[in-house]
Amino acid sequence: MSTEEKSLHFIEQIIEDSLSNGFPKDKLRFRFPPEPNGYLHIGHAKSICLNFGLGLKYNAPVNLRFDDTNPAKEEQEYVDAIKEDLKWLGFDWTEELYSSDYFQQLYEWAVAMIKNGKAYVDSQSSEDMAIQKGTPTQPGVDGPYRNRTIAENLALFEAMKNGDYPEGSHVLRAKIDMKSTNMLMRDPLMYRILHRHHHRTGNDWNIYPMYDYAHGESDYIEQISHSICTLEFVMHRELYNWFLDQIYDANKVRPHQYEFARLNLNYTVMSKRKLLQLVQENIVNGWDDPRMPTISGLRRRGYTAASIRKFCEIIGVAKRENVIDFSLLEFCLREDLNKTAPRVMAVLDPIKLVITNYPEDKEEWLEAENNQEDESAGFRKVPFSRELYIEREDFLEEAPAKFFRLSLGKEVRLKNAYIIKGEHVVKDASGTITEIHVTYDEDSRSGSGSEASQRKVAGTLHWVTIKHAIEAEVRLYDRLFIDEAPDSHKEKNFLEFMNPNSLEVIKGFVEPSLATVQAGEKFQFQRLGYFNVDKDSTEDKIIFNKTVGLKDAWEEKGKKEENLLMNTQKEINKYVKEKEENNALLILNSIIANIKSIDNYSLIIQTVVKNIKNDNNALLFSNLILQHSDKVKVKDIDAETLTKLYTMSLKSQLAAVRILAIENLQVDLTNFNLFENQLSELKKIEKNEKVLQLLTHLKI
């Protein structure tokens, strides 16, 4: 096998095998078939890159076909947005088609199936049909209308089409096998009645085909050779083929369905229904809110098409589901923006800096490199004068040894400018620093070649001149959810994991070269991250969106939280051993504060479960988390696991563990009732006064 063949993903290998077995290359045809019931998200990008990538690789046509068979949820707005996203990603389609183009043909095929005894009209309620269909372990049974005559079925189906019946009164079902081990083959629905306005066919139709029927037949009409979909459609393949069997002409290309693993990304949701909920409940500001995983949201935030295509290339095409870390998407973005985004200076949390020995009336324009990664990017001029803004966090009046920014008596360099030294500060009545006064070394200008300019100092700060700076609104976006899998927890609503800090709007100041920026332009604010000009910007008000930081803050936060929990567990040992009551209380308060600061729900749950073992300190830790974490409730813990925790804790030799377990049971009424006997037995033998007081208070 050649190196090229080894590098093929499994879909490409299937196509290569088809060609090797005689399938004509000029008959290859692919499609991207979105349903226009919402905006495309990053998960769709993988399918887009796959299908259009195959088209480019094999020089084969790729259709854009809208599977618009449900007018109750579909809108022209979504059609337009999908087309815009595809073009922005860099792909063009051969033909723009719609399943609604084929409504007449699909209807005629359905009539033919009725005539061939392969379809019938069912008049049961949806509840009765569900019962009659059976379960995965119990075969279905024939319904009361399954053996209607062909004439009766034809008449009913035509009346359904003509709008003679209300919604829900009748459906058309394929007549297959009610005992099939594949539930989808137990006489699936083909048509339902919907008296809804369709965004393309208007009110022409009163019946609409189901996806499973329309999809494969549409592939056949378009002569799609390889119909590629995600793994959840594996069980649908048998039905896909059955419907094709009813219409297949041996002189035409027969489509074949192949499934690949869809994109699962942590720290987000990619259910259209849940994304729609976020929009409809105004939790976000529309489908293109920069916190949304939609392609339009990512575009508005400042993501590039190249970074998304690169991301899809890296994750590849596989048969097995896995979860991709959001950090990989951000990495691909940083890689792209690092090469292309001009460097500029902006200050987002300003404090005034005065260079006391710089002439008050002096102003000079210094040369600044636009992008050290791109030689062709050139240079620009930035103004410099006596009064500047720097970031408030870049100064400490008294700094620790490893603080490499400005402090009194220490030197730093101002980017593209001079070396300065902290001299003194001005404070307001409350003691807050309002001005930092420094002196500068006139001979130290960057690029001057002087001996002073080559002097090494600990840090370099970005800045803007107060006189020339432009005020801007800056929207600091962060991930929308604080949990890795917000929609995967039983008994928990995904909205409970919303990140309260996903958007902060602040006022910042940017250098004057940004006075004429246009929506969509991208920049690196030096030392701060990458930012994008928002579409809401006007001539009078520039708005920047934070696209991504220079470093992966979430990875750092995750590691910090893991380390904090590990170190907190070590503090448990100190707390247990401490004999002096006040010292013990200080340690305990520190432990509780650490527990409360952890945001990662999954990490907390894992820590609780991991510490349910025959170890007093571990049990104490689990009980403390259960009592003090505002991210985890008793109902979030598996019942069997919780029972184990209470059982072991009430038997613990450590009184503090028994106390915490009793306190947790007090607010867990379900388990309290189950443990009444054990608590009564404990009361008989308990010697610790605090535990006895608690048990007496329970009145058991």
Active site residues: 35, 262, 272
Q: How distant, in Å, are the alpha carbons of 390, 396, 405 from that of 409?
A: 17, 11, 11
The reply to whether 638 sits in an annotated binding site is no
The reply to whether 220 sits in an annotated binding site is no
The reply to whether 559 sits in an annotated binding site is no
Phi and psi at 524, nearest 5°, equal -100, 115
The reply to whether 187 sits in an annotated binding site is no
Instruction: Indicate the pairing of strand 411-414 with strand 419-427.
Output: antiparallel
The reply to whether 135 sits in an annotated binding site is no
Tell me how many degrees the CA angle 585-589-592 measures, rounded to the nearest 5. 140
The reply to whether 47 sits in an annotated binding site is yes
The reply to whether 413 sits in an annotated binding site is no
CA 569 – CA 663 distance, rounded (Å): 20
SS3 649: helix
CA 336 – CA 33 distance, rounded (Å): 29
The reply to whether 270 sits in an annotated binding site is yes
The reply to whether 211 sits in an annotated binding site is yes
Cβ pair 74, 36 in contact under 8 A: yes
b/e map of 136-159 (b: 16 or more CB within 10 Å)?
eeeebeebebeebeeeebeebbee
SS3 576: helix
Instruction: Indicate the pairing of strand 470-477 with strand 542-548.
Output: parallel
Tell me how many degrees the CA angle 681-682-684 measures, rounded to the nearest 5. 70
b/e map of 533-566 (b: 16 or more CB within 10 Å)?
bbeebeeeebbbbbbbbeebebeeebeebeeebe
The reply to whether 44 sits in an annotated binding site is yes
Q: How distant, in Å, are the alpha carbons of 172, 338, 415 from that of 192?
A: 7, 53, 67
User: Scanning the structure block, which residue is given the tokens 């930012």?
Assistant: 531
The reply to whether 36 sits in an annotated binding site is yes
Q: What is the number of other CB atoms lying within 10 angstroms of the CB of residue 412? A: 22
The reply to whether 37 sits in an annotated binding site is yes
Q: In the chain, count of helices (H) and strands (E)? A: 22, 29
In Å, how far from its chain's centre is CA 437?
45
SS3 521: coil
Question: DSSP readout, 327-339?
Answer: HHHHHHHHHHHHH
The reply to whether 335 sits in an annotated binding site is no
Sequence-distant (≥ 6) Cβ neighbours of residue 380 within 8 angstroms: 367, 368, 370, 513
Q: How distant, in Å, are the alpha carbons of 389, 392, 409 from that of 353?
A: 6, 10, 15
The reply to whether 643 sits in an annotated binding site is no
SS3 465: strand
b/e map of 610-645 (b: 16 or more CB within 10 Å)?
ebbeeebbbbbbbbbbbeebebbebebbeeeebeeb
Cβ pair 194, 208 in contact under 8 A: yes
Query: Where is the binding site, in residues?
Result: 35-37, 41-47, 67, 211, 230, 262-263, 270-272
Query: Where is the binding site for ATP, in residues?
Result: 35-37, 41-47, 230, 262-263, 270-272
Query: Where is the binding site for L-glutamine, in residues?
Result: 67, 211
